[in-house]
Amino acid sequence: MAKSITLTVNGKSYSGEADSRTLLVHFLRDALSLTGTHVGCVVGRCGACTVMWNGTAVKSCMVFAVQADGDEVVTVEGLVKDKRLHPLQQSFWKNDAVECGYCTPGMLMSAYGLLQKNRNPSDEQIKKAISGNLCRCTGYGNIVAAIKEAAGNFTK
Amino acid sequence: MDFPINPPIGERVRRKETERFVSGTGRYVDDLLPAGTLHVSFVRSSCAHARIKSIDVTAARAMPGVRAVYTGADIAAHVKPLRVGGSSVLRPVKLYPLAVDKVRYFGEPLAVVVADNRYLAEDAIDMVAVDYEMLPAVVDPEKAMEPGAALVHEEAGSNIVYKFHFATDGIDKVFQDAEVVIKERIRSHRITACPIEPRAYLAHYNKDEDTLTMWSATANPHSLRGRIAEIIDFPEGKIRVIAPDVGGSFGVKIQTYQEELLLPYLSRELGRPIKWCETRIEHMRNGRHGRDQIHYVEMALKKDGTMLGIRDKIIADMGSTYTVDHSIQAAALYMTGVYQIQNYSVDALGIATTKTTHGSLRGIGKADASYILERLVDIAARQLKIDPIELRLKNFIPAEAFPYRNVTGALYDSGQYHLAMRRTAEMAGYDRLRQEQIELRKQGIYRGIGVAFVMEPTSSSRIHATGGYASCRLRIDPSGAATVFSSMGEQGQGHETTIAQIVASQTGIPFDKITVIHGDTLPTPYGFGTGSSRSSVVLMPSAWVAGKLMRDKMLGIAARQLKVLPENLQIDGGKVFAKDHPEQSIAVMEIIRTAYGAIHLLPENMEPGLEVTGYFINPNIDYTPDDKGRMNTFSSYPYAAVIAVVDVDIETGMIKIVRYSTVHDCGNMINPQIVDTQQQGSIMQGIGAALYEELRYDEDGQLISSSFMDYRLPCAEEVPELQLEHIITPNPFTPLGAKGAGETGMLGPPPALCSAVEDALSPFGVKVRETPLTPDRVLNLIEKAQATPAHG
Ligand code: FES
Ligand code: FES
């Protein structure tokens, strides 16, 4: 049954039709054309679809779009402000934390979720925060380093 | 070859492509949704081996939003089969986009639903009823060879679908006379590449133009174009294949798949864009699988540890369609590895089973060989009570012997094995480690040290198959910016950066003004798939050649105007000037203007414009064997020495990697940052293969590890302390001296970690011959060893 829903995504209000079974990730990608959020498994095991939902990093393949009706969502596209990369994005670039880029948006959002709550995370805390995000390319080392470096320059 | 390597080649330049990936503006196939797109979902075989008696699609056709349903038989009437396989013993088999009379593995596509969206397509596949006549599953490759076994391909008359034999004279005598013979059965278990982006395809037939555009997450766009043309009988020139950003491949996306060939047909039939993005479960079941070789292998040695010869019998499980028999040959040709062994024999058999088709995976074939050989060396060291490093140092090919022709005819370009091994031992503090191990054992801590020395032949070439050369077309635009059209696609390797570094170094065009286009068959010159690490070995040199041709042209134009010989000119800072009289100069922009506009000022016989194509041919390749069956099919030989330290918890079976130290030689590095990152990822993939990942089939041929739940990829918390170092021995046969950096990392962990665990558990006499080393398996090994009388 299609239902009309309204979400605030990256600070902008969007309305659209969603079936009761439409996943949030598909709604973001197909209805709102926000394709930065990726799909790697649709069963909550890879983290490529991670977004911020009401202030917490979640896997958007584990949420129905209708559950997010009236809520606030931030996707990777929302990290860029005034065409300037967010310190986390800059740090991923500088530390070569990216190869194919497929896991990257989800990694960034998990890191963003962590730094919202903890401005000075240890390596262990960082690894734990991204342990639900799989990367097959980089071996994670540079990602952890990038998040650590960005923690110092973190802005909301 | 002696060529200067000038900056920015060799610098840790920040990757160009990363900017779009961090900002979420990368473009992968799944991100594309042209108006009017229809979506497909596949009905897949629920059993491993069966004849299809009937398929009833009536109910599915009546489902909401369903536009069409096709079975294998419907499709087979309209497309040509792809001819795949073909080997020393078997003619190629016909592969249709959907199974026709028979299914040969669990998950094989046999019908397709086309619907308005992916949810509706998935709903409808459940309504398709398939009636099977069950046939026995063929799961165990050794049993599959026995007479009377059910046949995967009846027309072949046997499940043995590939044979390779090689032997040096007198090999049996070497074994008869040997003081010591080590004999083992070791298996490399079945795994898969598992990029985080699954496969994804979008075909769009444009009726008005009568053209077809295929977006595919492929690592092999030019070959794919040819195959589409062949099976749907459509002119190749009217097909454009575009691999946009591709989320990793590691071999699995270099091959052509059934679904990939079907979509163009559907789009032509229905006149709409047709899209399919596979699910993770489909990827595990249908993406190519790798490894899975059983080796019955023996090594003859002197008591002092001198290696004399190897005899091997390989049984390789090729799955249902055996498209890539060279995995077997690659293993068979390199079983002597980095050692001076000139007596060798091998009998290799490829066996068809009712499993997912075997195919490319980072280190294909060579990873099996290096794993099994390095385990064998370790077992020999333990038995002879010789230190595993000493045993290796005693038998390595010495640096002065390169280029070295191995026993099977492979030509190793260069190497310093002794140096790499010694440096790794120093870095890891090997002597101290052995001391610590004794101390810890007294405290009940089971620490193990594993040594391995792996070599990864790269840039393969085979007749009619792949890889003989690569090319880059380079244009300097009238504006002064440059565009490079690369013949190979990329899936995370950073070509947009490394190619730009090379072209900047040659032409003086600033790095930031160079754009690299790849993965699109329309503007790029023909080339082969990104695999076998051939981008470093042939693609980058082709960019170098293009850069050199361009440079020569620019200098030629300057020479005429400055009246200075080209060899006395230099490009720097946007100018070309005389080396001895820098005040005699001309701006690069002026040269560009001349080439395009003032062509009366060009040297005689020079073509106008600034556009060149550089080719580079894979060096030292033999396309046919010599009279003794010897041949070289790879052109570069990077390698790595490894020392892994582990602690094994004998209560839980858990393995903790205390430290992983490695020295890697991939020759010159175009961008050391990119090499480091790739190597870290490659090592983690190897750790996954050794400890966590396994594709397991039950006796009915059902794949039981088909999601991230039961096929576990390593995560961030499992990254051990890594010590990485490089030594550089350039490949003397390529202009850049690079050997390929992406694969060697993955080869190290399986042998090093298995040897380390065996070392840790040596008080129990545990023998590690099966992998991965999951906690269950480790506990089992301990239990089994305790039940049998202990060894020393
Ligand atoms: S797509 Fe959501 S976790 Fe994998
Ligand atoms: S960069 Fe490719 S999966 Fe992480």
For B469-617, the fitting CATH number among 3.30.365.10, 3.40.50.300, 2.30.30.90, 3.30.1360.30 is: 3.30.365.10
Contact criterion met (CB < 8 Å) for A102 and B195: yes
| Pocket residue to mutate for ligand 1, from A24, A29, A45, most atoms within 8 A of Cβ | A45
Q: CA–CA separation, A60 vs A23, rounded Å?
A: 7
The fold for domain B293-461+626-787 equals Aldehyde Oxidoreductase; domain 4 (3.30.365)
Residue B465: per-residue pLDDT: 61
Q: In order of start, what are the domains of chain A with their CATH numbers?
A: 2-76 (3.10.20.30), 87-151 (1.10.150.120)
Question: What's the pLDDT tens digit per position in B753-766?
Answer: 999 999 999 999 99
pLDDT band at B87 (very low <50, low <70, confident <90, very high): low
Residue numbers in A near B119 (CB within 8 A): 19, 21-22
Nearest-CA residue of chain B relative to A130? B716
Inter-residue contact B373 to B332 (CB < 8 Å): no
DSSP secondary structure letter of residue B204 = E
For residues A133-141, average pLDDT:
98
Phi, psi (5° rounding) for residue B639? -155, 170
SS3 string, chain A, reads: CEEEEEEEECCEEEEEEEECCCEHHHHHHHHCCCCCCCCCCCCCCCCCCEEEECCEEEECCCCEHHHHCCCEEECHHHHCECCECCHHHHHHHHCCCCCCCCCHHHHHHHHHHHHHHCCCCCHHHHHHHCCCCCCCCCCCHHHHHHHHHHHHCCCC
Question: Of the candidates B381, B504, B523, which has an alpha carbon nearest to the alpha carbon of residue B449?
Answer: B381
Could you tell me if A77 lies within 8 Å of chain B, comparing CB atoms?
Answer: yes
Angle of CA points B750, B198, B272, to nearest 5° = 160
B126's CB contacts (< 8 A; 6+ apart) are none
Question: What's the pLDDT tens digit per position in B619-667?
Answer: 999 988 999 999 999 999 999 999 999 999 999 999 999 999 999 999 9
- How many CA atoms does the CB half-sphere of B391 hold within 13 Å? 25
Residue A48 has pLDDT above 90, yes or no: yes
Residue B576, helix vs strand vs coil: strand
Counting ligands in written order, the one closest to the CA of A49 is 1
Q: CA–CA separation, B535 vs B668, rounded Å?
A: 14
Alpha helices in B512-639 (DSSP H): 534, 540-562, 588-596
Determine the distance separating the centroid of ligand 1 and the alpha carbon of B281, expressed in angstroms: 12
Question: What's the pLDDT tens digit per position in B284-341?
Answer: 999 999 999 999 999 999 999 999 999 999 999 999 976 657 789 899 999 999 999 9
Q: CA–CA separation, B699 vs B48, rounded Å?
A: 10
Question: What's the pLDDT tens digit per position in B43-77?
Answer: 999 999 999 999 999 999 999 999 999 999 999 99
Tell me the sheet residues that pair with B348: B164, B314
Q: CA–CA separation, A65 vs B493, rounded Å?
A: 35
Question: What's the pLDDT tens digit per position in B720-737?
Answer: 999 999 999 999 999 999
Q: CA–CA separation, B492 vs B248, rounded Å?
A: 6
Residue B680: per-residue pLDDT: 98
Q: What residue ranges in B492-629 does DSSP mark as E strands?
A: 514-517, 569-572, 575-578, 585-587, 611-617
Inter-residue contact B406 to B338 (CB < 8 Å): no
DSSP secondary structure letter of residue B762 = G
Optimal mutation site among B15, B22, B710, interface A, most CBs of chain A within 10 A: B22
For residues B696-705, average pLDDT:
96
Mean pLDDT taken over chain A: 96
Residue B242 has pLDDT above 60, yes or no: yes
With a 6 Å cutoff on the Cβ, whether B107 touches ligand 2 is: no
For residues B136-165, average pLDDT:
93
Residue B51, helix vs strand vs coil: strand
Tell me the sheet residues that pair with A141: none
Other beta carbons within 10 Å of B438:
9
Residue nearest to atom 3 of ligand 1 (CA): A44
Regarding pTM above 0.90, the answer is yes
Residue numbers in B near A94 (CB within 8 A): 14
Question: What's the pLDDT tens digit per position in B371-412?
Answer: 999 999 999 999 999 999 999 999 999 999 999 999 999 999
Q: CA–CA separation, B381 vs B390, rounded Å?
A: 9
B290-301/B307-319 β-pairing? antiparallel
Tell me the sheet residues that pair with A50: A59
- Selecting from B18, B708, B719 the residue whose C-beta is nearest the C-beta of A93 gives B18
Inter-residue contact A79 to A93 (CB < 8 Å): no
Residue B792: per-residue pLDDT: 41
Determine the distance separating the centroid of ligand 2 and the alpha carbon of A107, expressed in angstroms: 9
B655-665/B722-726 β-pairing? parallel
Determine the distance separating the centroid of ligand 1 and the alpha carbon of B107, expressed in angstroms: 22
Residue B90: per-residue pLDDT: 62
Q: CA–CA separation, B426 vs B663, rounded Å?
A: 11
Residue B88: per-residue pLDDT: 59
Contact criterion met (CB < 8 Å) for B677 and A45: no
Question: What's the pLDDT tens digit per position in B2-49?
Answer: 556 789 999 999 999 999 999 999 999 999 999 999 999 999 999 999
Residue matched to tokens 């391909």: B153
For residues A49-73, average pLDDT:
98
Tell me the sheet residues that pair with B478: none
B482-486/B514-517 β-pairing? parallel
Inter-residue contact B112 to B262 (CB < 8 Å): yes
* CA dihedral of residues B568, B572, B573, B577 (deg, nearest 10): 0
Q: CA–CA separation, B370 vs B335, rounded Å?
A: 7
Could you tell me if A30 lies within 8 Å of chain B, comparing CB atoms?
Answer: yes
Please state the domain extents for chain B: 36-135+199-277, 293-461+626-787, 469-617
CA distance A96 to chain B (A): 7
Sign, CA torsion B207/B209/B211/B212 = negative
Identical fold for domains B293-461+626-787 and B469-617, yes or no, is: yes
Inter-residue contact B663 to B464 (CB < 8 Å): no
Mean pLDDT taken over chain B: 95
Phi, psi (5° rounding) for residue B446? -90, 90
Q: Percent of chain B having pLDDT more than 70? A: 97
**Burial (CB count within 10 angstroms: exposed 0-12, middle 13-18, buried 19+), residue B597:** exposed
Residue B640: per-residue pLDDT: 98
Contact criterion met (CB < 8 Å) for A137 and B492: yes
* CA dihedral of residues B330, B331, B333, B337 (deg, nearest 10): 120
pLDDT band at B499 (very low <50, low <70, confident <90, very high): very high
Residue B309, helix vs strand vs coil: strand
Contact criterion met (CB < 8 Å) for A101 and B494: no
Inter-residue contact B258 to B222 (CB < 8 Å): no
**Contacts with B, A 84-103, CB within 8 Å:** 85, 89-90, 92-94, 96, 98-103
Superfamily of domain B36-135+199-277: Aldehyde oxidase/xanthine dehydrogenase, a/b hammerhead (3.90.1170.50)
Q: Is the ipTM of this complex over 0.95?
A: yes
Residue A18 has pLDDT above 50, yes or no: yes
Alpha helices in B342-459 (DSSP H): 366-384, 388-395, 417-428, 430-442
For residues A72-89, average pLDDT:
96
